[in-house]
Amino acid sequence: MGQPATKTATSPPEQNARPAGHGTLYIVIAIIAAIAVAWVLPNWAIHLELGGQIFLRLLQMVVVPLVMASVMSGILGLGDVRKLGKPGAYAVLYYMSTTVLAVATGLLVVNLINPGQGIDPAIVTGAQEEAAEHVDKATAEIEKAAEGQEVSLGLIFKKLVLMLFTDNLLGSMVEVNLLPLIVFSIIFAGMLTTMGERSHTIATLVISINDTLMAFIMLLMKVAPLGIFCLVASRFGKANAEDKLDDLAGVLAGYMGTVLAGLAIHALITLPLLLYIFTRRNPFRFMVQMGQAVLTAFSTASSTATLPITMECAEVQAGVSKRSTEFVLPLGATVNMDGTALYEAAAAIFIANAYAAIDPSFDLNFVDQMTIAITATLAAVGAAGIPEAGLITLLIVLNAVGLPLTLVGLILPVDWLLDRFRTAVNAFGDSVGAAIVDTSFTDKPTDK
């Protein structure tokens, strides 16, 4: 008896895709309504946090079992683990290429706009003082991870390699450390494909668990607009109550504009161009099909929490094959951080420009910028395995070029908002990757 296999597509992706429906529209309305409520009634909006946290926890609750079941199901669906070689190589090549392109875009935009030049030195000094507590906590995490060694590119690379493996599988599940879970799932399912009839029962169980979890995700999507309304309203309400929305103007406007411009170029030009070149899909239609996932990523500020919805949208709305979504998207949510890498490169140079206001002798040369590019790329890939990922990885980048870590205080007032945009770009990049890698499977459908 042959190996259990998941269903594969029998028609081109565009014909398989279902209409996006009203889900995306409802989420857009929920986000707009939430921002309006947070602006008019900020203190009331803050109390909606409970509803938002319940929705977020429901998503996070299924992440670990879904990742393991979906990756195993995807491998079992191949029938022969050796068929994973080409799609796996394509996925890794895609992740690295798009991350490098994102960093390059960030460096180009920030050098053209040069935010932070001419900033009032008093603002820089004040920001350093306010950031001291955050930096002390994050620095402790860096020192703990470095185990007393000097933080360097070599150490970062070593940590990235070690992140692939774990000495405690249950511990990785508890900490939602997905990368070693994915490695284990690939190896375990690969072994099942070589065991013949003996593996039939457990393989069927894995596929059934995966199908049940996806049905649960579809149920969650029915309440997604309400959960997203609560999440966005409470977060924006808190920012408005603390007068942090006022910080979006003035000195930080140039910095925010730079990061958003870079993210827009990557999400609206680079990724759609890659999608069209490799799949001949209509990029704009694909964006609409992935709309619910992208908006959920914006609302939750977590590509990992958004993973279940990204998988559902890619398969059901965009028509990406199950074998690709189940393998590519869990891996992408862990290591494919285009938006984060772009943001860190742009933020580091903005901070360097601001630092020059209090230390005119400081000069960020070409070598320093290349160091920022390499460090941002490596640190972004490793972000998922580090507590307070955004702050800590940015501190690693600043440390690499000798900038005072307390200068991170300059961007803290708006980091919560930019985090949502870069997470949305991360989620969209993952889905584009799944569509591109889908074309690399050798057993192509013959029905045209």
User: Residue 19: phi, psi to the nearest 5?
Assistant: -60, 150
Question: Per-residue pLDDT for 368 more than 60?
Answer: yes
Burial 435-444 (b: 16+ CB within 10 A, else e): bbbbbbbeee
Q: For the chain, list the domains and their CATH numbers.
A: 19-438 (1.10.3860.10)
Question: Per-residue pLDDT for 46 more than 80?
Answer: yes
Averaged over 6-16, what is the pLDDT?
42
Which pLDDT does position 2 carry in this prediction?
A: 43
Which pLDDT does position 390 carry in this prediction?
A: 62
Average pLDDT, the chain: 81
Which pLDDT does position 103 carry in this prediction?
A: 93
Residue 105 confidence class, pLDDT cut points 50, 70, 90: very high
Residue 6 confidence class, pLDDT cut points 50, 70, 90: very low
Which pLDDT does position 104 carry in this prediction?
A: 94
Q: Is the dihedral of CA 399, 401, 404, 410 positive or negative?
A: negative
Which pLDDT does position 421 carry in this prediction?
A: 92
Which pLDDT does position 259 carry in this prediction?
A: 94
More confident residue, 132 or 401: 401
Residue 262 confidence class, pLDDT cut points 50, 70, 90: very high
286: which 2 tokens? 């694909």
Percent of the chain scoring above 70 in pLDDT: 81
Residue 331 confidence class, pLDDT cut points 50, 70, 90: confident
Cα(335)–Cα(355) distance, integer angstroms: 31
Cα(198)–Cα(208) distance, integer angstroms: 17
Tens of pLDDT, residue by residue over 216-243, are 888 888 888 999 899 889 988 887 777 6
Tens of pLDDT, residue by residue over 50-75, are 998 898 888 888 888 988 988 888 88
Tens of pLDDT, residue by residue over 269-324, are 999 999 999 999 999 999 999 999 999 999 888 888 888 999 989 999 999 998 88
Averaged over 398-416, what is the pLDDT?
82
Most confident segment among 5-14, 95-104, 415-424: 95-104
Averaged over 192-203, what is the pLDDT?
85
Angle, helices 23-40 vs 291-300, to 10°: value is 30
Question: Per-residue pLDDT for 138 more than 70?
Answer: no
Question: Per-residue pLDDT for 265 more than 80?
Answer: yes
Which pLDDT does position 5 carry in this prediction?
A: 45
Question: Per-residue pLDDT for 347 more than 50?
Answer: yes
Residue 448 confidence class, pLDDT cut points 50, 70, 90: very low
Percent of the chain scoring above 90 in pLDDT: 24
